[in-house]
Every structure is written in C-alpha cells, then in structure tokens.
C-alpha cells in the first residue's frame, strides 16, 4: 500500500488547449492512462477567461469552487444552468454536455473530479468535523483550510493545501480537524 502525498503549489501547471486556464493534475488512474483511457482523474483548474469546457463522453464530472469569483456553467440545450458561486459546494454534471463557462467576478480555482461512468463513480464530501471515513480501495483527501490528523495505516498530518491519495489498498480513516476553521475535501472512488 502506498500513500501519495502532495502540496497543491508543487503540482505542475499545464495550460489548456483553448488558452482559458491551466490545470494542475493530482492523480490519473490507472497509471499512465491518457485523457481518453483514464478510470478516474482529479485536478485543480485555474479558470482565467470565459470559454467552453472540453467534452468528455462517458465521463461523470464533479466541480467544486475553491477560491475566486466563481463561474456560471450553461449548456446550449438547457440541461445545465448553474451558478458555481459558493465555495465548497460540489456540482455534478455529465462530461458529454457542451458546457460554456462564464466568469462571474474574475478568475477562480476549482477542484475537479472525473470518473468513467462504466467503471466507477465518485462520492465527494466537504468535511468540517471529525468523522470515521468508511473503508474504500481508492480515494483522496485535500486540506482546504486548517490542519487535519488522518488516522489509518499510521497517522498522517495534512496542512492547508496539502493532500494525499491512494489506490488498490482498502483503507479506513479517522479524520480529525485540528482547528475550528478546518475544512477537508474527502473523495471516495466506488467501483
């Protein structure tokens, strides 16, 4: 079993093809999978201008505003019409939807989860208090604010903007905030 830790600031920033932002990939599984063959992928995007989202047929997406002015998501067919303006409020949509993003008040940073619908699904929660996290074979935690103590296979400490992920090892956790403002994004990948 391997735990992979990361700091958001250390993740390489890759420009989008349309020039509207950059993505910092946290994990893409299975290892070596490309954008057309991944089972699940997690990243943080910096949206710098209005424009279309890339279409991902067969993929379910969850987007969560982390910081900035937010973005309005809409599709030409009217299936999607969502104001992503409140931080830490996950919004799910189908990856094949032709989404146009319009910035609300300046640029923003978003947490993105993509899962291949035929293979797996995502359960994303925003945690602010201690809890027992049920066992799963794949998952990820990111400390958005405050420090967190994670008790699983040993004890792990996460500081703000630090995270960890694991795959192919069943892990259960006790998640304990270390301050009153602590906030954790907790992702479980279900097969």
The pTM score is: 0.96
φ, ψ at 9 (rounded to 5°) = -65, -20
* CATH code assigned to 121-190: 2.60.120.10
According to the model, what pLDDT value does residue 2 have?
85
How would DSSP label each residue in 126-139?
EE-S-EEEEEEEEE
Question: Tens of pLDDT along the chain (191 residues)?
Answer: 689 999 999 999 999 877 788 999 999 999 999 989 999 999 999 999 999 988 899 999 999 999 999 999 999 889 999 999 999 999 999 999 999 999 999 999 999 999 999 999 999 999 999 999 999 999 999 999 999 999 997 899 999 999 999 998 999 999 999 999 999 999 999 99
11-116 has CATH 1.10.10.10 classification: no
Consecutive H or E run containing 123 = strand 121-127
3-class SS of residue 9 = helix
What is the C-alpha separation between 112 and 180, in angstroms, rounded?
Answer: 26
10 backbone dihedrals φ, ψ, rounded to 5°: -90, -10
Is the fold of 11-116 the same as that of 121-190?
A: yes
Q: How far apart are CA 126 and CA 148, in angstroms?
A: 13
Which structure tokens are listed for 82?
């969502």
**Residue-level pLDDT at 117:** 98
Per-domain residue ranges of the chain: 11-116, 121-190
C-alpha–C-alpha distance, residues 36 and 41, integer Å? 11
């Amino acid at each position: 079993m391997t735990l992979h830790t990361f700091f958001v600031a250390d993740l390489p920033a890759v420009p989008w093809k349309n020039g509207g932002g950059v993505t910092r990939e946290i994990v893409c599984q299975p290892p070596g999978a490309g954008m057309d063959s991944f089972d699940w992928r997690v990243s943080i995007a910096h949206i710098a201008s209005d424009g279309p989202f890339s279409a991902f047929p067969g993929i379910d997406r969850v987007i969560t505003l982390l910081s900035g002015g937010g973005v309005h998501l809409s599709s030409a067919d009217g299936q999607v019409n969502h104001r992503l303006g409140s931080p830490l409020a996950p919004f799910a949509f189908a990856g094949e939807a032709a989404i146009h993003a319009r910035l609300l008040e300046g640029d923003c940073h978003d947490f993105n989860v993509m899962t291949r619908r035929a293979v797996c699904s995502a359960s994303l929660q925003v945690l602010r208090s201690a809890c027992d996290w049920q066992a799963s074979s794949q998952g990820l935690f990111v400390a958005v604010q405050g420090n967190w103590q994670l008790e699983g296979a040993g004890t792990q400490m996460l500081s703000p903007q630090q995270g960890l992920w694991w795959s192919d090892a069943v892990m259960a956790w006790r998640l304990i905030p270390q301050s009153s403002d602590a906030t954790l994004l907790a992702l479980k990948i279900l097969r």
